[in-house]
């Protein structure tokens, strides 16, 4: 039961890094992500992204983002004309998220306050205020997901600054950036590289069957290696139990 009364130092502050926005100098060449990709962020980063032109995409570090996901605590929930307006806070900032429902289906029961929720959706700017459009909101059942999301957001942040390098984690849980690995290697290394490469564009998880087909490996062998990677803390199950994400 993931019910917690105080978020404490949420977002990147959990790891002692007070800089959670995008203050570093930007490069001059824009880099595009797949349009269907979801970028894990903190709420402060949502407020910090820029939109150079009206109706254009949102950017951080000159990387365009189409949709975002974040985890925070519900601080307030108000039913307002066919929608529930949530105030969600993650320790780096707060944001209002409106979840619409069909009036004909009856009033929707709001999430209670002081619980963690995972929110994903596309960014929208209206009257100078950023919001998450068509949000998908679900309760966080396992507190470990909060930690995973923060690590995932840090990794995405580092990738945005170093798009040609991979972000990995060593045995002590420390993040570091390295050059992409060779295409050759042991099956487990190839599987790890494939999951890490696909994770930014497949937020629900990379299916074992897809990994097997893409790498021309036996699916049972792939699943065995994935179990080892999970035990080593390098991979974890996505929102889909049959999919996996790199830490």
The torsion region of residue 104 among left (phi > 0), alpha (psi -120 to 50) and beta comes to alpha
What are the pLDDT tens digits along the chain (247 aa)? 444 444 444 333 433 343 334 444 444 444 445 445 788 888 988 888 887 777 677 887 667 787 889 999 999 999 888 899 999 999 889 999 999 887 766 677 899 999 999 999 988 887 778 888 889 999 999 888 888 888 888 887 777 766 555 555 444 444 444 444 444 578 899 999 989 888 877 777 888 888 988 888 999 999 999 988 888 878 888 766 678 888 7
Domains and CATH numbers, the chain: 11-139 (2.40.50.140), 181-246 (1.10.10.10)
Note the pTM of the prediction, 2 decimals: 0.56
The per-residue pLDDT for 115 is 94
Give the Cα separation of 56 and 63 in Å (integer): 13
Task: Tell me the per-residue pLDDT of 164-206, one tens digit each, with 9 for 90 and over.
Answer: 555 554 444 444 444 444 445 788 999 999 898 888 777 778 8
Give the Cα separation of 127 and 7 in Å (integer): 29
The per-residue pLDDT for 28 is 43
Which stretches of 7-66 are DSSP H helices? Answer: 43-48
């Amino acid at each position: 039961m993931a019910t917690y009364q105080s978020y404490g130092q949420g977002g990147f502050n959990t790891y002692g890094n007070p800089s959670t926005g995008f203050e570093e100098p930007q490069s001059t060449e824009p880099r595009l992500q797949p349009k269907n990709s979801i970028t894990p962020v903190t709420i402060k980063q949502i407020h910090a992204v820029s939109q150079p032109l009206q109706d254009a995409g949102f950017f951080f570090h000159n990387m365009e983002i189409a949709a975002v996901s974040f985890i925070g605590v519900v601080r307030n929930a108000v039913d307002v004309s066919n929608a529930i307006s949530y105030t969600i806070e993650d320790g780096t900032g707060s944001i209002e998220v409106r979840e619409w429902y069909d009036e004909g289906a009856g009033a929707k029961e709001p999430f209670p306050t002081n619980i963690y929720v995972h929110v994903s959706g596309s960014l929208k700017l209206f009257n100078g205020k950023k919001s998450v459009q068509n949000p998908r909101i679900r309760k966080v059942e396992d507190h470990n997901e909060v930690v995973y999301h923060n690590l995932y957001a840090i990794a995405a942040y580092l990738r945005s600054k170093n798009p040609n390098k991979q972000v990995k984690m060593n045995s002590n849980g420390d993040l570091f950036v390295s050059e992409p690995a060779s295409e050759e290697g042991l099956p487990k290394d190839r599987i790890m590289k494939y999951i890490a490469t696909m994770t930014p564009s497949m937020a629900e998880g990379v299916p074992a069957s897809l990994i097997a087909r893409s790498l021309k490996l036996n699916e049972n062998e792939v699943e065995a290696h994935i179990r080892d990677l999970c035990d080593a803390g390098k991979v974890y199950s996505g929102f889909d139990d049959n999919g996996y994400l790199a830490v």
